[in-house]
């Protein structure tokens, strides 16, 4: 069990050692990368009209939350590390910083779960997704995520659970004690359930794509009819496919009347091959973000469960310190993943930052002046 201390119970800080300077340098790098990457990504989503879509609204909220976490919570960790793992501020400020740290953790978990559900809907039920996932729907989902996150992080402010400065972690956070004297077990179970449910939804999405990997395209057979009187299963769709392929004769089939008159609305409802590939790429990007969230937070979650269920022995200090700093690094990895895996973000960044080139320039052909 970690030794939790009140801010006024800590002694005078000792002289900074080499490990302290390494921690300061590492955390300063995390703060800079997180602020620069997340703010650049947020500005790109806000300015590029082509990115004003549901998945990028969720990505915008995730990036802003990580940027606020890096700007508000991490500087207090810097100060505590600089003063020899001591909290030099008031008890109220410790509770506020701990509340924000837990809030952003649960916000990321809830939001990644909602994103996984929308990714499944975008591929498996695209007509419903395209019709319902408007800006206001995204705003409602984001507000629901923040409400649930506040509900999970707020009770310890009223001493339902305990927010304290944990010297081994250099931060104010939940004090995880043995479960017989601890009332934070429910919060840790909720976090584990959220992470597990998110991966279960992605597993269902992968299973859906695997089952539909051998779907045959519509047969482009030149079935000709003057009045488009086709019979049998799929006759209307076959007529429309024939017309699109250039085999149509006679009047425009009824299936295509609405598409020709309102092409943009039809494109929003129908999932073509290019749209399907784009949705798959977005799903891949968000799944990588989810896996990194699990990898970077799971050592700290394991440490928390160890404190709750194992009373006989404590965790090694090196393991606990590594787990804490891995959770800090999670705030900086999302923009890196997004810029590496998302072509639309790469193009938007290349358009606004001339020195960022994703593709080599085309060679100029020789010419002569007559």
Question: Which tens digit of pLDDT belongs to each residue from 73-109?
Answer: 999 999 888 888 888 888 888 888 989 998 999 999 9
Question: What pLDDT, in 10s, does the model give residues 169-214?
Answer: 888 887 766 555 555 666 778 888 898 999 999 999 888 887 766 6
Longest CA pairwise span in the chain (Å): 93
From residue 76, alpha-carbon distances to 87, 132, 367 in Å are: 8, 42, 63
Q: Distance between the two ends of the chain, CA-based, in angstroms?
A: 85
- pLDDT score at 183: 55
Residues contacting 38, CB < 8 A, separation 6+:
63, 64, 66, 67, 70, 331, 334, 335
- CA 227 vs CA 134, 219, 261: distances in Å: 39, 20, 20
Residue 133 is predicted with a pLDDT of 87
What is the predicted pLDDT for the residue at 206? 87
CB 170 within 8 A of CB 80: yes
- Distance, CA of 89 to CA of 296 (rounded, Å): 28
Using alpha carbons, select from 63, 148, 74 the residue that is nearest to residue 110. Answer: 148
pLDDT at 192: 84
What's the rounded Cα separation, in Å, for the pair 169 and 3? 10
Total-model pTM: 0.75
Residues of the chain with pLDDT under 50: 1-15, 216-234, 255, 257-270, 365-370
pLDDT for the residue numbered 222: 45
What tokens were used for 36?
């620069």
């Amino acid at each position: 069990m970690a030794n939790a201390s009140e801010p006024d119970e800590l002694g005078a800080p000792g002289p900074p050692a080499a490990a302290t300077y390494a921690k300061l340098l590492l955390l300063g790098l995390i703060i800079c990368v997180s602020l620069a990457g997340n703010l650049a990504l947020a500005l790109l989503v806000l300015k590029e009209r082509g990115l004003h879509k549901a998945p990028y609204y969720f990505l915008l909220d995730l990036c802003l939350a990580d940027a606020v976490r890096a700007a508000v919570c991490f500087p207090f960790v810097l100060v505590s590390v600089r003063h020899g793992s001591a909290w030099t501020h008031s008890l109220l400020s410790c509770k506020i910083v701990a509340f924000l740290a837990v809030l952003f953790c649960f916000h990321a978990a809830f939001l990644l779960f909602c994103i996984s559900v929308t990714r499944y809907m975008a591929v498996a039920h695209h007509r419903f997704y395209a019709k319902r996932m408007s800006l206001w729907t995204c705003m409602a989902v984001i507000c629901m995520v923040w409400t649930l996150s506040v509900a999970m992080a707020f009770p310890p402010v009223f001493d339902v659970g305990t927010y304290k400065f944990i010297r081994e972690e250099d931060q104010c956070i939940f004090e995880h004690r043995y479960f017989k004297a601890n009332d934070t077990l429910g919060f840790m179970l909720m976090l584990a359930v959220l992470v597990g449910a998110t991966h279960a939804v992605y597993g269902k999405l992968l299973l859906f794509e695997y089952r539909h990997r051998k779907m045959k395209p519509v047969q482009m057979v030149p079935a000709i009819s003057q009045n488009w009187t086709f019979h049998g299963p799929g006759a209307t769709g076959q007529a429309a496919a024939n017309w699109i392929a250039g085999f149509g004769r006679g009047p425009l089939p009824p299936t295509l009347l609405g598409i020709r008159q309102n092409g943009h609305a039809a494109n929003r409802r129908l999932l073509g091959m290019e749209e399907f590939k784009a949705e798959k790429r977005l799903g891949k990007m968000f799944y990588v973000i989810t896996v990194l969230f699990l990898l970077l937070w799971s050592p700290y979650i394991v440490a928390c469960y160890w404190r709750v269920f194992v009373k006989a022995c404590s965790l090694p200090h090196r393991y606990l310190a590594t787990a804490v700093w891995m959770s800090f690094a999670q705030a900086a990895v999302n923009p890196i993943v997004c810029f590496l895996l998302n072509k639309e973000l790469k193009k938007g960044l290349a358009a606004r930052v001339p020195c960022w080139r994703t593709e080599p320039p085309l060679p100029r052909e020789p010419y002569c002046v007559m």
